[in-house]
Amino acid sequence: MKTQTIRSFIAIPLPHTVKLSIDEYLNELKKRQKSGIRWVDAAKMHLTLKFLGDIDEEQIPAIHQAMQAAADACPAFSLSLKGLGAFPGSYKPRVIWVGVKAPAMLQALHQQLAANLCALGFEAEDRRYSPHLTLGRISRHASEAEVSGVSKLLHNPPKLHLQGVSVDSLNLYRSDLLPGGSIYTLLQEAKLKENSSQP
């Protein structure tokens, strides 16, 4: 009997208070740019570490083990959010994001997780991990005026600076694409080791 496939990814969850702050920031952005962007729901926001694509249910225990092995090697840490940007750039924006400023531990965690997943057959990415939170995507039907408005917004954005966002776990999520948007379901959690240097 064929096992069910699950569209999944591994990400760092964000505290509820941080999501509320991002939601307030999104409301300010929406006031300045009223059309041309499909904004992300702050309640569903997370910091993606690895998109796995379709996996078999029977792979979940091995993936969780790979996650926990990476988490066991990394103490809990904090990051901050600062700066509005876009891919591929501010003059031809397609994806709007807010930057993530984090210690070297985040890159180390990502590298260890990637290595552990490679051992399970998942492909390694050929570019350096660039941590960010996606806030919105430019609509396919956006006019030149709307895209120009987004570019102006990127060059003079409202300020967002969130210090001390705690990172103490990484989660495996199931992603179901529905007409009303994606639904994320927590499948597994891996706790980072306690940081004895933190109060």
Q: Which residues does the annotation mark as catalytic? A: 46, 132
Long-range CB pairs of 164-168 (<8 Å, 24+ gap) are: 164/78, 164/80, 165/14, 165/15, 165/18, 165/78, 165/79, 165/80, 165/81, 166/15, 166/76, 166/78, 167/12, 167/76, 167/77, 167/78, 167/79, 167/102, 167/106, 167/192, 168/76, 168/192
Backbone phi, psi, residue 8, to 5°: -145, 165
As a whole number of angstroms, the longest Cα–Cα distance in the chain is: 56
